[in-house]
Structure 1
């Protein structure tokens, strides 16, 4: 199929470009064991693929009929991102305090994609550009390509965070990195509000 390369390139560009999920992946890599970050990545990837397929099967056009749905989605996403920003901002930068309750997990990753306007936009625009109106075969091929590309792209952010963790052994410096990520995550909310 001649669309495999363009679909793959789109999936890579959409998955690896900075966004709220990518910033949480980076933060997870700096703060937690690698497997916890990859568990979040797995949830985020599968959550995205479920959203992608749902949109491809008509969810977005169906929900567009609900008055205020897009605004509700935007505000729910903003609230969730601000919550994650707060958690990053209050982190003390101590690497040894790695308790499982603090690490964002599988379900956080999956839910975050459903509340992430970037994920909705990437799904709708990719499906609109590379599939023919609800063609199940094309949608399945696209989702099959997207799955490993998304997982590997998000994993790259976790591994980058892991690299930073190895380079940053002082809690004060890690706390500064976490607060910078919190500011970036909160700033992404401004983009959503002003859009």
Structure 2
């Protein structure tokens, strides 16, 4: 029982804390509503769970053999985060009729996890801590537990954003919010780069 509580605590701490995926979920919830944001939430959760399982099955050993892959993932993630920050910073704050088409998609959420160095670190650290002996039963149990906690955590951020949407109906408020989200994403990218070097 203690092992399961430790797994759940680790999953919650890594999933609920601020990071690029949660910042995008907050922004998506604020601009497009909670229901539309669930596509991003689902994609991000499934993307992370797949990454977690693959790391548990040995993907981390590939990264150990070819360290340049880790560096490439780090830089791709930083570039992607800075691109998203730029898109938010230049947004005019007008809520258009075609907003549904512009909301982050399922695939966007999944890709964001695979380019998120925080997700890679959480996967490697958790596999080492909880599934170090390679027991498949523990791997699948942990992945299932992590899936539920990760989904609920990211959904909480999207829901918080949806609760803010009433304040963001005016273009100037939405512009300020988007620029704040852009600043947080840029900060996340710089932090991840500093940690990775």
Kindly state the Cα deviation for residue 67 of structure 1 after the two structures are TM-superposed.
Answer: 4.2
Q: Is the CA contact (8 Å cut-off) linking 2:167 and 2:173 kept in structure 1?
A: no
Q: Could you tell me how far 1:133 is from its partner in structure 2?
A: 2.5
State yes or no: 1:126 paired with 2:115. Answer: no
Task: Check the 8 A contact 2:33/2:165 in 1, yes or no.
Answer: no
**TM-score normalised by length of structure 2:** 0.94
Match of 2:92 in 1: 92
Deviation at 1:8, TM superposition (A): 0.6
- 1:78 maps to what in 2? 78
Are positions 1:166 and 2:166 aligned together? yes
Unaligned runs of 5+ in 2: none
CA distance in structure 2 between the aligned counterparts of 1:12 and 1:67, rounded to whole angstroms:
29
Residue-by-residue CA offset, 1:80-110 (whole Å, 9 max, x unaligned): 1111111111222223444333211000000
Distance in structure 2 (CA, Å) of the matches to 1:2 and 1:35: 35
Alpha-carbon contact 1:32-1:98 (below 8 Å) kept: no
| Aligned equivalents of 1:174, 1:43: Cα separation in 2 | 25
In 1: Cα distance, 2:72 partner to 2:169 partner: 41
* Preserved CA contact (<8 Å) 1:20 1:185: yes
Aligned residues: 195
RMSD (CA atoms): 1.3
